[in-house]
């Protein structure tokens, strides 16, 4: 069922030596698995564009509707909670609002039951949304999405970036900047599986980064860049 969660497919667990991200998610509630099913952590401590959140995946022998009805019943025990149902294609969605957090549950039917995700986020009013990263980027790009993770003292970032320039030009700028910042380039070559794409792999001490450049298909032209930066 991993294909359903490819956008967030990093199995990360918070360690005993709590970092800043773990501390920011410590007060978020934890929902148990649905009836007749199991749940597992996808990200126990992460930030999405600066907003603390946790993420679980689950599967159940119940239908998607049955799973959401289970969690709806649970929310009725909290007088300050509000809930709302919606649908996004094949996915049924339950949004639960509390005074200090949001819970969003996606569920999708399968022949054997259902699969889904449980996302818990802090209320946007409690934390400042941020796209700030320390990864070296040229001034010609701008960040559109930032996910930060912690895993037993190890830290990582997934950064999505856009540029109005062509992939080979932006790749050249990034490679030059990384070298100036003391990074050693392990790979700097056209991407084998992406037309007009480019891949840079770089290392600095124990830190490792992989940058994938590809033509932006959103209709505005330019380049989309995906950066996976493992800091430790």
Residues 84 and 105: their CA atoms lie apart, in Å, by 11
Residues 160 and 162: their CA atoms lie apart, in Å, by 7
The predicted pLDDT at position 47 comes to 75
Phi, psi of 172 (to 5 degrees): -65, -45
3-state secondary structure of 27: coil
The predicted pLDDT at position 16 comes to 30
How many other C-beta atoms lie within 10 A of the C-beta of residue 188? 17
CA atoms within 13 A on the CB side of 12: 26
Tokens of 182: 């003391």
CB 90 within 8 A of CB 129: no
Residues 63 and 60: their CA atoms lie apart, in Å, by 7
Q: Which domains does the chain have, with CATH numbers?
A: 2-126 (no CATH), 142-230 (3.40.1000.10)
The predicted pLDDT at position 153 comes to 66
Segment 106-151, tens digit of pLDDT: 999 999 999 999 988 877 654 556 778 999 999 999 988 888 887 6
Tokens 């998607």 -> residue:
64
3-state SS, 121-147, equals EECHHHCCCCCCCCCCCCCCCEEEEEE
User: Which residues of the chain carry a pLDDT beneath 70?
Assistant: 1-25, 76-81, 124-129, 151-153, 218-220
CB 102 within 8 A of CB 123: yes
The predicted pLDDT at position 2 comes to 40
Residues 196 and 213: their CA atoms lie apart, in Å, by 8
Classify residue 167 by its DSSP letter.
H
CA distances from 119 to 51, 64, 205 (A): 12, 16, 34
């Amino acid at each position: 069922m991993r294909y359903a969660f490819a956008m967030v497919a990093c199995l990360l667990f918070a360690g005993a030596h709590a970092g800043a991200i773990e501390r920011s998610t410590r007060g978020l509630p934890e929902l148990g698995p649905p009836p007749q099913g199991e749940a597992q952590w996808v990200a126990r401590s992460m930030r999405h564009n600066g907003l603390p959140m946790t993420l679980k995946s689950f599967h159940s022998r119940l239908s998607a509707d049955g799973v959401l009805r289970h969690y709806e019943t649970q929310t009725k025990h909290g007088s300050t909670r509000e809930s709302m149902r919606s649908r996004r294609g094949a996915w049924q969605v339950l949004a639960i609002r509390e005074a200090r957090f949001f819970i969003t549950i996606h569920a999708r039917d399968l022949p054997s039951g259902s699969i889904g995700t449980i996302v818990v986020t802090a209320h946007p009013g409690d934390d400042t949304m941020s796209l700030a990263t320390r990864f070296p980027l040229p001034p010609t790009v701008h960040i559109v999405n930032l996910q930060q993770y912690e895993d037993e003292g190890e830290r990582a970032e997934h950064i999505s970036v856009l540029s109005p320039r062509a992939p080979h030009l932006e790749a050249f700028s990034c490679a030059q900047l990384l070298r100036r910042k003391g990074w050693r380039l392990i790979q700097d070559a056209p991407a084998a599986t992406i037309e007009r794409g480019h891949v840079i792999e770089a290392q600095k001490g124990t830190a490792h980064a992989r940058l994938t450049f590809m033509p932006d298909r959103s209709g505005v032209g330019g380049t989309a860049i995906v950066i996976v930066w493992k800091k430790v």
